[in-house]
Amino acid sequence: MTQPRLLAGGNPQIPKGEGNEPVQAYLDAMPGWKQQIGLLIDRLVLETVPGVAKAVKWNTPLYGLPGQGWFLAFHCFEKYVKVTFFQGMSLAPIPPGKSKQPHVRYLDIRETDEVDEPQLVHWIAQASALPGERQ
């Protein structure tokens, strides 16, 4: 199998698709240290949200609940992995990264960052309980 092409910032180019398979292809293609961040996010979402749905759209893994929409996504950039909380302004505490979208907030995870797993799990749990993004 051919390795997916990496786009700007090392983001894997993965065909649009629903389910675990395209998300797993994205995770497998994430370069270097970013892959560990992607695997961590995927594991925490699966452990925290029973029945979670997965998809890849716009070369970005999405997580949501059937009938409720997407609550979380992430994307590789050159120096960080950007975690998107589609209803981030409704989370407590509010994730630190601001967005031009009024409800969206981000968490940028860099190679040297120590991930606060309990906080990330708390945000995932809160986000999954809110109405999701329809995309």
Which DSSP category does 5 fall into? P
- pLDDT of residue 1 exceeding 70: no
Residue 133 belongs to a domain: no
Using one digit for the tens of pLDDT, what is the confidence trace for 76-86? 999 999 999 99
Residue 74 belongs to a domain: yes
Count of domains in the chain? 1
Cα-based distances in Å from 18 to 23, 53, 54, 63, 95:
8, 8, 6, 10, 27
Residue 58 belongs to a domain: yes
Question: Can you give the pLDDT at residue 37?
Answer: 98
Residue 92 belongs to a domain: yes
Letter for the amino acid at 19? G
For the chain, the 3-state helix, strand and coil shares in percent, each to the nearest 5, are 35, 25, 40
Question: Can you give the pLDDT at residue 2?
Answer: 61
What is the pTM (predicted TM-score) of this model?
A: 0.94
Domain CATH for 65: 3.90.1150.200
Residue 3 belongs to a domain: no
Residue 93 belongs to a domain: yes
- pLDDT of residue 57 exceeding 90: yes
Residue 2 belongs to a domain: no
Q: What is the DSSP string of 47-95?
A: HHSTT-EEEEETTEEEEEETTTEEEEEEEE-SSEEEEEETTGGGSSSPP
Using one digit for the tens of pLDDT, what is the confidence trace for 20-35? 999 999 999 999 999 9
Residues of the chain above pLDDT 90, percent: 88
Taking the CA atoms of 120, 42, 74 and 54 in sequence, report the sign of the dihedral they define. Answer: negative
Which positions ≥6 away from 50 have C-beta within 8 Å? Answer: none
Cα-based distances in Å from 107 to 23, 73, 75, 94, 129:
20, 11, 11, 10, 19
- pLDDT of residue 99 exceeding 60: yes
Domain hosting 54: range is: 8-128
Which positions ≥6 away from 114 have C-beta within 8 Å? Answer: none
